[in-house]
Amino acid sequence: MSFLSLLKREIRDFFANKAVILTVFGGVIFYSFLYPLPYAQQSPLEQKISVVNLDNSATSLKLERMVDATAQVRIVQRDHTIEAAKQAFIDGKVSGILVIPEYFYKDLMMGKSPTLAFAGDASYFLVYGTIVEGLAQTGATLGAEVKVAQLLAQGEPILSAENQYASVKSNAKPTFNPRMGYVDYVVPAVFVLILQQTLIMAAGLLVATQKSISRSWTLTSQLITLSVRTLMLVTIYVVMSAYYFGASFSWHGINTVASPIELFSLLVPFLLSSCFIGFALRLWVPRRELVAVTVLISSMPLIFLAGFIWPPEMIPQPLLWLASLAPSTSAIGGFLSLNQMGASWQQVSSHFTQLWLLVLGWGAVVAVTLFCRSSLFRTVSKALPKGSTTSS
């Protein structure tokens, strides 16, 4: 059978397989909208808090108004005791607590530093960070106002007082995530994993095993068939990847700086190695449905071992070695460096090399597995009487 005939047959089988079509097109496109949806607002705002004002001075009441005016938090109740506020927190009525200490105004006027107590629900780190950020900024703003007022009372010019209220001034400029949002932080990496996992499932669902392949096929014909199938799948996923890195990123406002040639150069070994993993997995597992189960179970460990959610320095080295067998580990680092951080090609060359090593390694695994199966089949066929058949 000619190469063109094989390619036509593979394309026909691909579009005739509803499970594969749903995995490739349905999974990739569906997740491009579904996954970022919960984080469309980028960060939680207007978190409910309770205020315990033990001072009740004009300044402490001004602090309350300033807190309520911030975008991060919203005062929904005022309690007279810390115990009452704690109970409201436990009951889920509020997500945070602000305690203004007694003698707050007196300490400010005497030049002392009163302690504002914050409490937040740390089980959700975004919620906790939002509450603490809003309360801390408000406290710092009020402290600056009081300091400037004291300097003015001592006869300092207003420009001098503005420059003296803080010994250090910060000018924060977010790098690589200008909106300081969750979408810009996690979606580019997760999309790479989605491409890998759906491609592995598609390749695994299409590959032929002892139960679905004709016994008369030679090892050479099997390798040629898998090569044609690889070409078809990689071509389809180049288009799907272009949709992710192009239209989808643009739709969600994600920063992109890499050139198409650089992305394509890193994309080819990533897709090839993912495809070979799907072939190998289908050759190993006894039933077709176990391919999807195995891929789904591995998704969460792979995302946490990729190095962008949890620092690699805090992950045990054996787990990092295991994670390096997955193309997504190197691909996530490479794509994030190129497309979001503006790294040069030399800076991602190690990821590029690692991906091609995975292509060679997983390709060899597929070839050796097919060779062992073919040898075993020939041995069993010779041992059986003529006219009998084998079953797997």
Q: Is residue 238 domain-shared with residue 322, that is, in the same domain? A: yes
pLDDT band at 102 (very low <50, low <70, confident <90, very high): confident
Q: Is residue 217 domain-shared with residue 149, that is, in the same domain? A: no
Domain that holds residue 237: 3-38+179-383
Q: Is residue 218 domain-shared with residue 328, that is, in the same domain? A: yes
Question: What single string gives the DSSP state of each residue in 65-96?
Answer: HHHHHSSSEEEEEEESSHHHHHHHHHTTS-SE
Q: Is residue 208 domain-shared with residue 131, that is, in the same domain? A: no
Question: What single string gives the DSSP state of each residue in 182-238?
Answer: HHHHHHHHHHHHHHHHHHHHHHHHHS--TTTS-TT--HHHHHHHHHHHHHHHHHHHH
Side chain identity at 322, as an amino acid letter?
L
Burial 106-126 (b: 16+ CB within 10 A, else e): eebeeeeebebebbbeeeeee
Phi, psi of 313 (to 5 degrees): -65, -20
Q: Is residue 174 part of a domain?
A: no
Instruction: Let me know: does 231 contact 7? Beta carbons within 8 Å.
Output: yes
Domain boundary among 120, 137, 164: 164
For 105, the 3-state DSSP assignment is helix
Mean pLDDT for 377-384 is 55
Domain boundary among 164, 194, 223: 164
Which single residue is written with the structure tokens 């997983």?
A: 362
For residue 45, give the H/E element and its range.
none
Q: Which of 169-173, 214-218, 342-346 has the lowest mean pLDDT?
A: 214-218
Instruction: Let me know: does 203 contact 279? Beta carbons within 8 Å.
Output: yes
* Alpha-carbon distances of 194 from 271, 283, 296, 350, rounded to whole Å: 12, 22, 10, 22
For 321-346, write each residue's pLDDT tens digit: 998 999 999 999 999 888 888 888 88
pLDDT at 356: 95
Q: Is residue 233 domain-shared with residue 186, that is, in the same domain? A: yes
pTM for the predicted model, two decimal places? 0.72
Domain boundary among 164, 197, 230: 164
Which single residue is written with the structure tokens 């089949």?
A: 377
Q: Is residue 254 domain-shared with residue 135, that is, in the same domain? A: no
Q: Is residue 211 domain-shared with residue 277, that is, in the same domain? A: yes
pLDDT band at 221 (very low <50, low <70, confident <90, very high): confident
Q: Is residue 196 part of a domain?
A: yes
E-strand spans in the chain? 47-53, 73-79, 96-100, 117-120
Here the CATH number for the domain that contains residue 120 is: 3.40.1710.10
Q: Is residue 13 domain-shared with residue 111, that is, in the same domain? A: no
Q: Based on the structure, what is the number of domains in the chain?
A: 2
pLDDT of residue 127 exceeding 80, the answer is no
Q: How many residues does the chain have?
A: 392
Q: Is residue 311 domain-shared with residue 267, that is, in the same domain? A: yes
Q: Is residue 294 domain-shared with residue 202, that is, in the same domain? A: yes
Nearest-angstrom CA–CA distance, 139 and 30: 44
Q: Is residue 392 part of a domain?
A: no
pLDDT of residue 159 exceeding 70, the answer is no
